[in-house]
Amino acid sequence: MINDAVPQKEARWVVLVEAETRPGYEENHRWQLVATHAVRDGGREAADKLARKLAMEYVPGEVTVEAGDTPARKVFRVNDGSWLVEGRGIDHKRTLCRVATTELVLK
């Protein structure tokens, strides 16, 4: 059977956000994929720009802040181009998240 439907434009570049599932518990430290952002236009450059924006603004669910406040944060650019973010809320607990530009190679 021939599929003659027009293929949808698929995103080749995707920004992934991972966050700690148990922040502060080093013996049971795990990561979980918490957000996926498909970048349909602009290619790698647009995906890198979105990753930087998310690294600067994303607040992990484990970080507690008062309404209208922003958490204290440190943002690190990693050698591979990804971002590591350390956030601290009103309880001063450290929570980490990673933001990475990725290329979808198989679906």
Closest CA to 102 of 35, 56, 19: 35
Closest CA to 101 of 34, 31, 49: 49
- Tell me, what's the pLDDT at 5? 43
With cut-offs at 50, 70 and 90, classify the pLDDT of residue 106: confident
Q: Averaged over 41-60, what is the pLDDT?
A: 92
Q: Averaged over 86-91, what is the pLDDT?
A: 75
Q: Which residue has the higher pLDDT, 28 or 42?
A: 42
Please identify which residue in the block is written with the tokens 């998310």: 54
What length is written for the chain?
107
